[in-house]
Chain A
């Protein structure tokens, strides 16, 4: 029980290493090994969250070296929930990926599972860690495995992965530079310790420089507006079976890391805090409008969803820009909701590809007759993106809007409404293509079974459907749990 925080990260890491070896025996042995490991992590992260809610934040010290000297994993309610999120979407992605055979070569299939599991490990590590350099290492594990997964998606995937690699490495380097500036000023790498030391004496200018570097670095990684250039191509051309994890969770964890720096390490006493929040606010407003407008013009489902992600990341950083506990809770609720919505939409796209092999919006006329369950999730996720109750999208936007109104930031509120309306335009266009356009009579790629797609594809679809509704209906509970931590750090 005492070692839960490290076990959650360690199990997928070990399973990832063993997966390649076991895959040589049989293709499925390695896969079931990683699925078991991720499920175990899921169970443990649920237990851990219950502990955190009951007894307060957990601090885990490696090798029992105390905080400023040793490395620390610190778990509070916010990252406790995020760990569960990563595990759930990771697990669903593994189940989903079993139907997509990337290659007949056992080693390549094993390698793909290994890389996918390493991506989960990196995300879990980034979420748990309380050490700035440790965060860098996990960030690089995440990025390197993401480059590989994107490169597996065919010719264009390789180019997209290469471009993402260049930009992503610039981001990691800028992050390291920011860490160097903070380390030079405090002499510590522990986040909690750094937060104390940064408030002593006048270090505002160095802190401002470091924060600008961090915003650039995490902005690139989470695809915030002016730094989003790599994202649409990467999401579009990534390997189909890995796309839900990449699009659903990978952009959220850097956003969470940005929150950690902004609110937990720097804190509201920082002299330029309001300035930084304003900068973030301008970027998010641009992102919300730009992403929605670009999404309206896309003909490819994957590109449409990718640009919609640019807009949705804007909502999350808008919550940070408002900065009150309520806005932060709204931002995190949107983070969880959007992870299920976007992953769910990409599961739908995957199911359609599995049966028909088509990505274009022009080809999907009257598909609801043939794939009712998939189209059901598609509609629910689209409505949730637009913000219609009782789906989770409505409640997160409600909290954001409420916080903006309380702080009298009317521009944010106006942009929130406009962006939601733009969302409605392109998501109703998506729904129109599915329900009203004439049937194109697509040739089936596979023989039709009794159900619309295989069970391994339908399970993630149904889980996402339930999760969107459940998150929406239980939003008050989740926000209460989030506020246990967020209540102390906001404005």
Chain B
């Protein structure tokens, strides 16, 4: 059990994080909270990727004279990929916040209930 948790536990934690984010997007009625949950979800996948790069006994992937085997270093590729994913998630969050700002400007609220009510009034 302990061995299983030590090996695979981190995956369950990231999946839990993913579930929390996804549930939050569905359940929360405040648009800001939805945006936060979206971010949680993205972070979950970033963690998942980073887990893949990890290995026991590996060190940071900077070449050193004393260590010449690939086994001595962790895999740097997932980290490189996730750097890109973080930039993308930053961009998405930026666009999301800009849209929220517009919504607040035009509807006076970012609660889903108020917005739906306002759309009905206009009809």
Please list the residues of chain A having a beta carbon within 8 angstroms of any beta carbon in chain B.
133, 136-137, 140, 144, 147-148, 151, 155-156, 158-159, 161-162, 165-166, 169-170, 172-173, 176-177, 180, 183-184, 189
Closest Cβ neighbor of A178 among chain B residues:
B45
Contact between B45 and A165 (Cβ–Cβ < 8 Å)? no
A380 to chain B, nearest CB (A): 34
Q: Which residues of A contact B79 (CB under 8 A)?
A: none
Q: Which residues of A contact B91 (CB under 8 A)?
A: 140, 144
Q: Which residues of B contact A189 (CB under 8 A)?
A: 77, 81
Contact between B48 and A165 (Cβ–Cβ < 8 Å)? no
Contact between A169 and B92 (Cβ–Cβ < 8 Å)? yes
Closest Cβ neighbor of B122 among chain A residues:
A155
Provide the bound-state CA to CA distance between A42 and B105, in Å.
40
Contact between B92 and A144 (Cβ–Cβ < 8 Å)? yes
Set A140, A144, A173, A180: member contacting B41, Cβ < 8 A: A173
Closest Cβ neighbor of A183 among chain B residues:
B52
Contact between A144 and B95 (Cβ–Cβ < 8 Å)? yes
Contact between B52 and A184 (Cβ–Cβ < 8 Å)? yes
Query: Does B22 sit within 8 A of A, measured CB to CB?
Result: yes
Contact between A166 and B25 (Cβ–Cβ < 8 Å)? yes
Contact between A170 and B48 (Cβ–Cβ < 8 Å)? no
Name the interface size band of chain B. 20 to 34
**Given A165-B95, A166-B25, A173:B102 Cβ within 8 A:** no
Contact between B42 and A162 (Cβ–Cβ < 8 Å)? no
**B36-52 interface code vs A (CB 8 A; 1 in, 0 out):** 00100110010011001
- 7 nearest A-B pairs in the assembled complex, by CB-CB distance: A162-B99, A140-B88, A158-B102, A176-B45, A155-B106, A184-B52, A180-B49
**B74-110 interface code vs A (CB 8 A; 1 in, 0 out):** 0001100100110010011001100110110011000
Provide the bound-state CA to CA distance between A156 and B115, in Å.
10
Provide the bound-state CA to CA distance between A310 and B25, in Å.
24
Contact between A170 and B99 (Cβ–Cβ < 8 Å)? no
Tell me the total A-B contact number using a CB cutoff of 8 A: 72
Contact between B34 and A166 (Cβ–Cβ < 8 Å)? yes
Set B25, B88, B92: member contacting A137, Cβ < 8 A: B88
Provide the bound-state CA to CA distance between A14 and B35, in Å.
31
Set B31, B49, B84: member contacting A162, Cβ < 8 A: B31
Q: Which residues of B contact A147 (CB under 8 A)?
A: 95, 99
Contact between B99 and A180 (Cβ–Cβ < 8 Å)? no
Closest Cβ neighbor of B92 among chain A residues:
A169
B86 to chain A, nearest CB (A): 12
B87 to chain A, nearest CB (A): 9
Sample (12) of A-B pairs whose CB atoms are under 8 Å apart: A140-B88, A144-B92, A158-B99, A159-B107, A161-B99, A162-B31, A162-B99, A170-B38, A173-B18, A173-B45, A177-B18, A183-B78
Provide the bound-state CA to CA distance between A177 and B41, in Å.
11
Contact between B38 and A169 (Cβ–Cβ < 8 Å)? yes
Q: Which residues of A contact B88 (CB under 8 A)?
A: 136-137, 140, 172
Provide the bound-state CA to CA distance between A136 and B87, in Å.
12
Closest Cβ neighbor of A164 among chain B residues:
B99
Beyond A137-B84, A165-B92, 16 additional pairs, beta carbon < 8 A: A140-B92, A144-B92, A147-B95, A147-B99, A151-B99, A158-B99, A158-B103, A159-B107, A162-B99, A166-B34, A170-B38, A177-B18, A180-B49, A183-B49, A183-B78, A189-B81
Q: Which residues of B contact A170 (CB under 8 A)?
A: 22, 25, 38, 41
Set B22, B52, B95: member contacting A180, Cβ < 8 A: B52
Set A148, A161, A162, A180: member contacting B48, Cβ < 8 A: A180
Query: Does B119 sit within 8 A of A, measured CB to CB?
Result: yes
B57 to chain A, nearest CB (A): 19
Provide the bound-state CA to CA distance between A172 and B95, in Å.
15
Provide the bound-state CA to CA distance between A252 and B106, in Å.
33
Contact between A162 and B103 (Cβ–Cβ < 8 Å)? yes
Q: Which residues of B contact A155 (CB under 8 A)?
A: 106-107
Contact between A169 and B115 (Cβ–Cβ < 8 Å)? no
Q: Which residues of B contact A180 (CB under 8 A)?
A: 45, 48-49, 52
**Given A144-B91, A144-B92, A165:B99 Cβ within 8 A:** yes
B42 to chain A, nearest CB (A): 6
Provide the bound-state CA to CA distance between A180 and B77, in Å.
12
Closest Cβ neighbor of B110 among chain A residues:
A162
Provide the bound-state CA to CA distance between A170 and B24, in Å.
12
Provide the bound-state CA to CA distance between A148 and B96, in Å.
10
Contact between A177 and B48 (Cβ–Cβ < 8 Å)? yes
Set A133, A156, A158: member contacting B84, Cβ < 8 A: A133
